[in-house]
Amino acid sequence: MPKKVVKGSTKPFKGEVTPPGDKSISHRSLMLGALATGKTVVTGFLNCEDTISTANAMRAMGAGIEINGTDVTAVGNGLRGLKEPGDVIDAGNSGTTTRLLTGLLGAQDFFSVVTGDKYLRARPMKRVTDPLRLMGARITGREGGNKLPLAIDGGGLRGISYRLPVASAQVKSALLLAGLYASGETEVIEPEPTRDHTERMLGYMGVTLQRSGESITITPRERDFEGRKISVPADISSAAFFMVAALINPGSEVLIRNVGVNPLRTGVVDILKDMGGDISLLDEREVSGEPVADLLVKSSALKGVTIGGALIPRAIDELPVIATAAAYAEGTTVIRDAAELRVKETDRIKAIATELGKMGADVEEFEDGMAITGKGRLTGAACESRGDHRIAMAVAVAASRAEGETEIDDAGAVAVSFPEFFEVLKGLRS
């Protein structure tokens, strides 16, 4: 799917949708399933390019992983049961695979090499390799270990206390995974709370962690933990596109089922509600250690808001589509403290500012964010995803209410997290 054309329409979005499983949780279910003894059965798994990269990596180290649609069976050989891979591990486009895997590989008593596609090879990795080196990991790579491929001569790690320079759930998770094997305690101190799926799943699998204020501490695990059943909720990052589509298109009402509403991931809900969005959480419950709810979203007159500080880590992946919402809101929305967006699959600040600008949006770009002054209308244009799934989907949502047609180049990037996105979006208008 090199290009996709989205036609603007006055027809509302109506109906129900269950987005694909949470990508972050799906990655972690494979890794921890491979480290457990016995069988881990996963339902609601996100079967996409990124998670397949993780599955292939764990298979390369001897884990038995069978994927059948959204169902997965992982058979692990215990914490010390991984084997040296016979070839380079290809993480594809997945930053989560790479960073979490680097922490895990840094602790293993064998040699490994990790690479990825051209986009992933351009992304910075020192934020994870530097603290792992402090733990004793021997990691080399391009630009002093900042770029893939990374060569990792693992084992012999020692626990450290490390304050994250930038809030990052991926770096935190990498250090916690390494800490399972290190001598002594490993403490990670966060400048702002980030998504805690790793901590929740480790706890669900029987691993003890201590949390005190900004600090999370893990002690080396002497005994194996056993595999468990894991039910993966729908990804709130994927749900966000339907939330915004329903909010900005008059007369829309969409029920989004089985969404993970981890409080460290619901920044998008808080922001859209603050903008005036009519969003209700129904049937709140807990599944496999994660909070879950159904979201009822109705079209709303949105207004501009200021977004920054502690809200940013809770909504970092959803900011491109929040920018889309802002383009249709009354007044100006200001996003600050979001420099992290520049080192995602692409520079998402530049990307969304440029693409919305092509459609007539009033966007001012900052080093750490942007200001979007809503005009209430956009016009279809020739747009580019830059190989980034979230940019492709954010532009598609903007195009859903724009006048005329919007052509999105490299729209196949949505396969990274939501292969059926365009079909599902269209189906809610049929």
Is 317 one of the catalytic residues?
Answer: yes
Asked whether 32 and 205 are in contact (CB, 8 A), the reply is: yes
The residue from 235, 294, 317, 410 that is catalytic is 317
3-state SS, one letter per residue, for the chain: CCEEEEECCCCCCEEEECCCECHHHHHHHHHHHHHCEEEEEEECCCCCHHHHHHHHHHHHCCCEEEEECCEEEEEEECCCCCCCCCCCEECCCCHHHHHHHHHHHHCCCCEEEEECCCCHHHCCCHHHHHHHHHCCCEEEEHHHHCEEEEEEECCCCECCEEECCCCCHHHHHHHHHHHCCCECCEEEECCCCCCCHHHHHHHHCCCCEEEECCEEEECCCCCCCECCEEECCECHHHHHHHHHHHHHCCCCEEEEEEEECCCCCCHHHHHHHHCCCEEEEEEEEEECCEEEEEEEEECCCCECCEECHHHCCCCHHHHHHHHHHHHCCECEEEECCCHHHHHCCCCHHHHHHHHHHHCCCEEEEECCEEEEECCCCCECCEEECCCCHHHHHHHHHHHCCCECEEEEECHHHHHHCCCCHHHHHHHCCC
Structure tokens at 189: 């101190």
Asked whether 47 and 37 are in contact (CB, 8 A), the reply is: no
Give the Cα separation of 50 and 337 in Å (integer).
27
By DSSP bridging, strand 71-77 and strand 37-43 are antiparallel
- Active site members: 317
